[in-house]
Amino acid sequence: MPLTLTPIPGIPLIKTGDNLPNIIWIALSNNQIDLIDNDILVITQKIISKAEGRFVNLSEVQVSQKAKEISKTSNKDPRLIELILQESKEILRITTNHLIVEHRLGFVCANAGIDHSNVNM
């Protein structure tokens, strides 16, 4: 069976509180795209984060001693490290500029999926 990738035009910029399933359904309908058994929708983490309002003001983050210690090794802002710790079950590896963690949801990724696009300085 061949793999076919089909973009869905017409999805607007996502804002906090948006109903993603409804927005996607409308875009599919407007583009006359029908989903069938075994179809897979790929949705970026970015629009999920936006819809959930997952933004943080770094000036409001209370930094733990552990975050301060890790910041010395990782060369990362201790406030950002604190957010990474809050989203993680376990730190698997610390390198300069990256923490490889097991996310609280069970997957392994860099910096618990946190990037500066979701952070207000």
The predicted model scores a pTM of: 0.70
Domain ranges across the chain: 20-54, 57-120
Look at residue 119 in the predicted model and tell me its pLDDT. 53
φ, ψ for residue 104, nearest 5 deg: -60, -20
pLDDT, mean of each 10-residue run, the chain (121 residues): 90 95 97 93 88 88 96 92 95 91 94 72 51
Domain 57-120 in CATH 2.30.110.10: no
Look at residue 117 in the predicted model and tell me its pLDDT. 63
Look at residue 56 in the predicted model and tell me its pLDDT. 85
Instruction: State the Cα–Cα distance between residues 104 and 86, nearest whole angstrom.
Output: 8
